[in-house]
């Protein structure tokens, strides 16, 4: 076992790291690039650099390596070895003592200020590491920064990521026999097929009445009220256009036929529900259920 | 019927076969013919499922089967399983063919998975009353029946779980089973995640890559062949009133499987036996609740009594009605019911890994929730 607090104390005792000189002096081309990248259109940065650029001057570049006495690097290594292998920056506070002028050459030093932990976080157990950096021109301190990272052990089993919701819900096929139903939904009407011959109510519908053989289906407009006859709470797998878990209820309408639809509410068999219409687009409106307020 | 299953063959059962579905079909058919002591040139009939991607002519080409005089397909997913044997037996009896091979092969795990939402299936008008509403998987469709069954008969998730425990127990001693040596407890079942309440993960069968084939010929021809024949005492199909595929929700009673009732009546009538004569039951078990309903439809117990029948231990290997000695589709493999028929043949032959003593009659059922089929295979 690595004693992290003891190791941290050892690193902190080393105090301020040796000054590390910036690769280039403060210069106009870098200032212009930075302004462009940030989207800062202030016209005043022709003689001095934006203060928030201070960290830029001493960045290591693409192939930079931390100095051996850099306390943050040392602390990262210790925590890596202790199994806290992941890192996320949490906050950074900067203080600017004055503007940096073009041509000035800054250097930076770092101190380990604080290591606290272990803390349980949403990401996993980890240690907060705080360093203080100071930028100098010569012996003059021009800016300071307190920088904090969380160095953590990734949770053994990450919470399952919510599966991406597919935008496109499954659409019904609609033909000559079923068009009346979907047309009804577009008009906020829940229609039930009624035989033009014998009056039999039927859902799902069909072109020929199984009772009397008539092929003149008509419909009535349901009150859209009924009770839950059975239901499913769907968890897996993902269903296009739906956010799991969700409820699908088989509702027995007051008129006597059963119909499926999503139920927005706590399900139970016998629950009184009523129809709700949700417009998907100009062609499609979907019926679904919600618990009745008067139940 | 004057026909028998004289050969069975299968590929390995895996989660990633690494070969085409046609290769799996060809391997299974070749293995079944070898088991039967027949050559590809003896085959003149092929039967499969309409869902199978392997055309009869493609299988014939791979096997070098020169001519076919009978080829047929059966609809409705797993409901087709026993009906492929019925087709073959009818072809043999009518003289349409002399040797018919039934096959089913797929990469159901590594390729097209039936347990996912079948967006393409929504083009079917019937499915437009369920899929767009979010009911788009077989598990969810069965769960709708299961919830109502629980409500009416007081069955619980544990009652469903006991089926999974039995299947996995039997699979544990079957070296060909995916879940060989991996039994589960009822606690494991109860701890498994929800798929579609009230169904948990362990209520749902596995997904499998593989192939199974069965060779059918006349009883006379069977006598000249090396294996003890599994006689087809009865083979029937069944579709019930107001039948839909997986979503027959508009009937008076949601706690039954009337299509399996049709199959049951046909099987008992044609075979001349009844439920008490069944030595082994190979019941389709894609989802546990429908095993309970099947026990009731087939007459092994009364309506709503399956939970007590199951809890009594009747389905154990030493019980009154040993269930799925190979481990079923929950334990051995999901081959759309065809591996269950192969197990029934082995039980009749006396060569199964979990062999039941003195088997005279084996009952096999096909997919539930869909128009379905069944078989009674006999030693004579």
Q: Report the residue from B128, B193, B250 with minimal CB separation from A172.
A: B128
Q: What's the pLDDT at B193?
A: 97
Helices (H), A127-186: 179-186
Q: Which residues on A lie below 8 Å from B148 (Cβ)?
A: 229-230, 269
Q: Which residues on B lie below 8 Å from A203 (Cβ)?
A: 129, 250
Residue B341 has pLDDT above 80, yes or no: yes
Taking the CA of residue A207 and the nearest CA in chain B, the distance in Å comes to 12
In angstroms, the CA B333 to CA B208 distance is: 6
Q: What's the pLDDT at B321?
A: 98
Q: Which residues on B lie below 8 Å from A245 (Cβ)?
A: 194, 197
User: B107-146: per-residue pLDDT in tens?
Assistant: 999 999 998 987 777 789 999 999 999 999 999 999 999 9
Nearest to B86 by CA among B223, B216, B273, B264: B216
Contact B144 A262 (CB under 8 A): no
Q: Report the residue from B116, B151, B249 with minimal CB separation from A237.
A: B116
Handedness of CA B202, B252, A228, A166 (dihedral sign): positive
Q: What's the pLDDT at A218?
A: 98
- Going from the N-terminus, what domains does chain B have, and what CATH number goes with each? 3-111+209-219 (3.40.47.10)
Taking the CA of residue B168 and the nearest CA in chain A, the distance in Å comes to 22
The correct answer on CATH 1.10.3720.10 for the domain covering A4-152 is no
Residuewise pLDDT in 10s, chain A (295 residues): 678 888 888 888 888 899 999 999 999 999 999 999 988 888 889 899 999 999 999 998 888 888 888 888 889 889 988 889 899 888 889 999 999 999 999 999 999 999 998 888 888 889 999 999 999 999 999 999 999 999 998 876 655 555 454 458 899 999 999 999 999 999 999 999 999 999 999 999 999 999 999 999 999 999 999 999 999 999 999 999 999 999 999 999 999 999 999 999 999 999 999 999 999 999 999 999 999 987 6
Counted across chains A and B, CB pairs separated by less than 8 A come out at 108
What chain B residue is nearest to A228 in terms of C-alpha separation?
Answer: B148
User: B44-73: per-residue pLDDT in tens?
Assistant: 999 999 999 999 999 999 999 999 999 999
Which listed residue (B76, B103, B153, B284) is catalytic? Answer: B284
DSSP code string of B56-110: HHHHHHHHT----SEEEEE-SGGGGHHHHHHHHHHHHHHTS-SEEEEEEEEETTT
Residues from B in contact with A at Cβ < 8 Å:
115-117, 119, 122-137, 140, 143-145, 147-148, 151, 193-197, 247, 249-250, 254
Q: What's the pLDDT at A40?
A: 87
Q: What's the pLDDT at B282?
A: 98
Q: Report the residue from A171, A229, A239 with minimal CB separation from B148.
A: A229
In angstroms, the CA A262 to CA A250 distance is: 9
Q: What's the pLDDT at B379?
A: 98
Q: What's the pLDDT at A158?
A: 53
Residue A96 DSSP code? E
What chain A residue is nearest to B194 in terms of C-alpha separation?
Answer: A235
Q: Report the residue from A229, A235, A260 with minimal CB separation from B195.
A: A235
Contact A230 B194 (CB under 8 A): no
In this prediction the pTM is: 0.76
What are the structural domain ranges in chain A? Answer: 4-152, 179-291
User: B255-295: per-residue pLDDT in tens?
Assistant: 999 999 999 999 999 999 999 999 999 999 999 999 999 99
Residues B209/B108, Cβ–Cβ less than 8 Å: yes
Contact A232 B123 (CB under 8 A): no
Residue B156: count of CB within 10 angstroms of its CB? 13
What value does the mean pLDDT take over residues B290-301? Answer: 98
Q: What's the pLDDT at B44?
A: 98
What value does the mean pLDDT take over residues B208-223? Answer: 98
Contact B119 A204 (CB under 8 A): no
Contact B128 A240 (CB under 8 A): no
Q: What's the pLDDT at A15?
A: 87
Return mean pLDDT, chain B.
97
Given the DSSP bridges, would you call strands B45-49 and B70-74 parallel, antiparallel or unpaired?
Answer: parallel
Contact B128 A246 (CB under 8 A): no
- What ipTM did this prediction achieve? 0.96
Reported as type and span, the H/E element at residue A48 is strand A48-49
Reported as type and span, the H/E element at residue A100 is strand A100-101
Q: What's the pLDDT at A13?
A: 87
Is B284 labeled as catalytic in the residue annotation?
yes
In angstroms, the CA B257 to CA B290 distance is: 8
In angstroms, the CA B25 to CA B32 distance is: 11
Q: Which of residues 95-154 of A touch B (CB under 8 A)?
A: none
In angstroms, the CA A76 to CA A84 distance is: 9
Q: Which residues on B lie below 8 Å from A240 (Cβ)?
A: 117, 119, 136
Contact B134 A257 (CB under 8 A): no
Residues B65/B43, Cβ–Cβ less than 8 Å: yes
A253 in reach of chain B (CB within 8 A)? no
Q: Which residues on A lie below 8 Å from B137 (Cβ)?
A: 234, 237, 239
Contact B249 A174 (CB under 8 A): no
Q: Which residues on B lie below 8 Å from A259 (Cβ)?
A: 129
In angstroms, the CA B100 to CA B221 distance is: 12
DSSP code string of A241-252: T--SSEEEEEEE
DSSP code string of B180-198: TT----HHHHHHSPEEEET
**Residue B114 backbone class (left: φ over 0; alpha: ψ -120 to 50; beta: rest):** alpha
Quick one: what percent of chain B has pLDDT higher than 90? Answer: 97
Handedness of CA A17, A23, A24, A28 (dihedral sign): negative
Contact A234 B140 (CB under 8 A): yes
Q: Report the residue from A238, A250, A288 with minimal CB separation from B249.
A: A250
C-alpha pair distances (Å), B107 with each of A264, B15, B202, B211: 37, 8, 21, 9
Contact A232 B147 (CB under 8 A): yes
Q: Which residues on B lie below 8 Å from A169 (Cβ)?
A: 132
Taking the CA of residue B70 and the nearest CA in chain A, the distance in Å comes to 35
Q: What's the pLDDT at A156?
A: 67
- Which phi and psi (to 5°) does residue B14 adopt? -140, -175
Is B334 labeled as catalytic in the residue annotation?
yes
A65 in reach of chain B (CB within 8 A)? no
Question: Which residues neighbour B54 within 8 Å (Cβ) at sequence distance 6 or greater?
Answer: B21, B22, B25, B48, B103, B105
Taking the CA of residue B92 and the nearest CA in chain A, the distance in Å comes to 36
Confidence of residue B236 (pLDDT cuts 50, 70, 90): very high
């Amino acid at each position: 076992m690595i004693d992290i607090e003891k190791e941290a104390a050892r690193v902190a005792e080393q105090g301020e790291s040796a000054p590390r000189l910036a690769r280039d002096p403060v210069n106009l081309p870098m200032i212009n690039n930075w302004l462009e990248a940030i989207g800062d259109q202030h016209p005043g940065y022709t003689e001095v650099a934006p203060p928030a650029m201070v960290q830029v001057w001493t960045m290591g570049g693409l192939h930079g390596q931390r100095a051996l006495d850099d306390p943050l690097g040392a602390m990262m290594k210790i925590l890596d070895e202790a199994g806290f292998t992941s890192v996320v920056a949490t906050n950074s506070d900067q203080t600017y003592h004055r503007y940096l002028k073009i041509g000035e050459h800054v250097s930076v030093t770092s101190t380990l200020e604080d290591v606290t932990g272990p803390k349980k976080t949403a990401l996993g157990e980890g240690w907060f590491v705080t360093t203080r950096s100071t930028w100098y021109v010569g012996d003059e301190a021009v800016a300071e920064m307190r920088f904090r990272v969380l160095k953590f052990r990734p949770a053994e089993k990450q919470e399952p990521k919510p599966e991406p919701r597919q935008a496109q819900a499954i659409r019904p096929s609609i033909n000559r026999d079923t068009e009346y139903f979907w047309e009804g939904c577009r008009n906020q009407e829940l229609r039930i097929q009624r035989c033009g011959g014998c009056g039999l109510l039927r859902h799902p519908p069909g072109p020929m009445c199984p009772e009397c053989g008539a092929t003149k289906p008509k419909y009535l407009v349901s009150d859209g009220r009924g009770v839950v006859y059975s239901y499913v709470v769907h968890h897996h797998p993902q269903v296009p256009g739906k956010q799991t878990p969700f409820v699908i209820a088989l509702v027995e309408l007051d008129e006597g036929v059963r119909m499926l639809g999503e139920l927005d509410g706590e399900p139970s068999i016998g629950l009184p529900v009523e129809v709700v219409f949700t417009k998907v687009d100009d062609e499609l409106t979907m019926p679904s259920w919600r618990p009745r307020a008067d139940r | 019927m004057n026909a028998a299953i004289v050969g069975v063959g299968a590929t390995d059962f895996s989660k990633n076969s690494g070969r085409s579905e046609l290769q799996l079909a060809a391997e299974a058919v070749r293995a079944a013919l070898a088991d039967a002591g027949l050559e590809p040139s003896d085959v003149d009939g092929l039967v499969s499922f309409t869902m199978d991607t392997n055309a009869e002519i493609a299988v014939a080409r791979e096997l070098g089967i020169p001519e076919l005089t009978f080829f047929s397909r059966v609809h409705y997913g797993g409901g087709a399983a026993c009906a492929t044997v019925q087709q073959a037996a009818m072809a043999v009896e009518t003289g349409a063919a002399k040797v018919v091979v039934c096959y089913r092969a797929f990469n159901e795990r590594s390729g097209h998975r039936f347990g996912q939402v079948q967006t393409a299936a929504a083009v079917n008008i019937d499915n437009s009353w369920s899929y767009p509403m979010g009911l788009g998987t077989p598990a969810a469709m069965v769960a709708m029946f299961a919830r109502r069954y629980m409500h009416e008969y007081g069955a619980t998730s544990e009652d469903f779980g006991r089926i999974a425990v039995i299947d996995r127990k039997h699979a544990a001693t079957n070296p060909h089973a995916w879940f060989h040596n991996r039994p589960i407890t009822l606690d494991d079942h109860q701890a498994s995640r929800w798929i579609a309440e009230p169904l948990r993960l362990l209520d749902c069968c596995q997904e499998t890559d593989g192939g199974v084939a069965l060779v059918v010929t006349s009883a006379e021809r069977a006598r000249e062949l090396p294996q003890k024949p599994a006689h087809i005492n009865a083979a029937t199909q069944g579709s019930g009133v107001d039948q839909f595929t997986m979503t027959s929700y508009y009937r008076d009673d949601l706690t039954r499987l009337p299509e399996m009732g049709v199959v049951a009546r046909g099987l008992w009538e044609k075979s001349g036996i009844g439920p008490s004569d069944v030595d082994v039951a190979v019941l389709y078990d894609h989802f546990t609740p429908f095993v309970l309903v099947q026990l009731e439809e087939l007459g092994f117990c009364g309506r709503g009594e399956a939970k007590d029948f199951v809890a009594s231990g009747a389905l154990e290997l030493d019980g009154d009605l040993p269930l799925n000695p190979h481990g079923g589709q929950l334990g051995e493999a999901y081959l759309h019911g065809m591996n269950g028929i192969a197990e029934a043949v082995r039980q009749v032959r006396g060569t199964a890994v979990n062999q039941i003593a003195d088997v005279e009659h084996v009952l096999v059922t096909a997919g539930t929730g869909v128009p379905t089929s069944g078989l009674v295979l006999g030693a004579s």
